[in-house]
Amino acid sequence: MAVVGQNAIVTGASRGIGRAIAKGLIGDGLNVAVVARTEAALKDLAQETADAPGRAVVIPCDVSSAQNVKDMVATARQELGEIHILVNSAGVLDNEGIANHSDETWRWHYGVNVDSYFYTIREIIGEMFERRSGRVVNIISTSGKVAIGPNRAAYVSSKHALMGLNREVAVEAAPHQVTVNAICPGFVLTDMVEDSMEKFARDFEKTKEETRQHFIEQIPMGRFIEPEEVVPVVRLLVSDGAGAITGQAISVDGGFAPL
């Protein structure tokens, strides 16, 4: 477990996996800047964790903007002090066939799924280098390892790009004793995945139940993953005892893509 009182930034904290991670770290006694575009959802999270050992600092931010990220990190430092842990969990997912794929959807995926991770890492990791300690955890997806189905060119390619970023930054950070790792969740039952399944059902003329069964059949454990099941892996990777673990991409997917 990370040291009580350490400071963290968690992006994508308004819902799904990012929200579960933020709640877990605050419950462990860390002070967490919770970051997302939806301020109301972040305030709800802060209220839910008001009695926890750690505290939440609400910072609304569109992390696909380099300037917004710069301002967000400055605010986090002002409110918390030095940043010991960065967890990138912002992400978007839409379904479009490649033949008629729009430029807007492509750029949207890369802006949120790739650019935001680059911006936050760039703003924070120099401080970690100077201190010779720090933890970066990038929430990617099993889609960074395998193609999970049709009509997801932007999503899958953006997640593969993140895998490259994770590996390269880990190599650069290692001499400074800073670790950089990825977690690759599989079919986690979040609003984003529910929305994607609805679009899959629409595109392939399936019922909602047929679609759910189609995805479940691909998971050896025979069930969807819960957001909270990602949290223990985050706890491991940000702990003091994980100093030799870097450049890794750990799947939490019920056996879907175990490599």
List residues with catalytic annotation.
Answer: 155
Q: Give the containing element (helix H, strand E) for 87.
A: strand 85-88
Do 55 and 31 contact (CB within 8 A), yes or no?
yes
Other Cβ atoms less than 10 A from the Cβ of 97: the count is 11
The Cα–Cα gap between 13 and 61 comes to 11
DSSP-assigned beta bridge partners for residue 36: 60
**At 36, phi and psi to the nearest 5?**
-175, 175
CA atoms lying within 13 Å on the CB side of residue 70: 3
Do 147 and 256 contact (CB within 8 A), yes or no?
no
Which value, to the nearest 10 degrees, does the dihedral of the CA atoms of residues 200, 148, 249, 129 take? -60
Do 99 and 54 contact (CB within 8 A), yes or no?
no
Which tokens hold the place of 252? 């939490």
Position 42: which residue type?
A: L
Do 72 and 63 contact (CB within 8 A), yes or no?
yes
